[in-house]
């Protein structure tokens, strides 16, 4: 039985970009989740606080001031005027799954399904990259030094490309 193709409620790229790495876990901020679910951040946090027993520390945690500073410097969290009065919460994959029981709307269910699929895609991608690296290491051990330059060139190609960040601000030029 072939599953029916589904129409995405939100762009998959939007979900993929909202998943960040924090404290060794892939998480999403309360602000991003609220936007995806179509609710106010305040309403999402209120619903979670009414059901806090469903969200142990490995499902959800509140960022520290230092972590918030790191996210702001990476432009993951917006810098709106006025800002928030409290530190944001972030949710792991399990925490996002638990949100579907707290936010009871048709959109929340659909968005949750898509977010779960995004987490699975990310995990699959990471696992396949680890497997490729493991196989490459095996091959490298089997072959002698004459191929060392080839292996090093391939390793360089496997490294993620670091895009230079554009400078922000003004540059004073001496006259």
* Fold adopted by 12-125: Mlu1-box Binding Protein; DNA-binding Domain (3.10.260)
| Domain limits, the chain | 12-125
State residue 2's pLDDT score. 45
| H-assigned helices in 64-105 | 65-73, 93-102
Q: Average pLDDT per run of 10 along the chain, which is 175 residues long?
A: 54 78 88 88 91 91 88 62 76 86 77 80 76 72 66 76 68 69
| H-assigned helices in the chain | 12-18, 30-37, 41-50, 65-73, 93-102, 106-142, 148-158
State residue 90's pLDDT score. 93
Global pTM reads 0.60
């Amino acid at each position: 039985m072939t599953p029916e193709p589904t129409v995405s409620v939100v762009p998959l790229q939007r979900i993929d970009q909202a998943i960040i790495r924090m404290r060794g876990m892939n998480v999403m901020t309360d602000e991003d989740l609220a936007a995806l679910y179509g609710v106010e951040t305040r309403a999402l946090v209120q619903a979670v606080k009414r059901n806090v027993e469903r969200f142990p520390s490995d499902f959800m945690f509140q960022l520290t001031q230092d972590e918030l500073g790191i996210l702001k410097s990476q432009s993951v969290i917006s810098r709106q005027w006025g800002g928030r009065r409290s530190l944001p919460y972030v949710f792991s994959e399990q925490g996002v799954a638990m949100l579907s029981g707290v936010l009871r709307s048709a959109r929340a269910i659909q968005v949750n399904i898509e977010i779960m699929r995004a987490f699975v895609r990310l995990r699959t991608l990471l696992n396949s990259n680890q497997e490729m690296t493991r196989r490459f290491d095996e091959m490298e051990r089997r072959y002698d030094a004459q191929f060392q330059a080839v292996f090093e060139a391939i390793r360089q190609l496997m490294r993620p490309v670091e895009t230079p960040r554009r400078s922000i601000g003004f540059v004073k030029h001496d006259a």
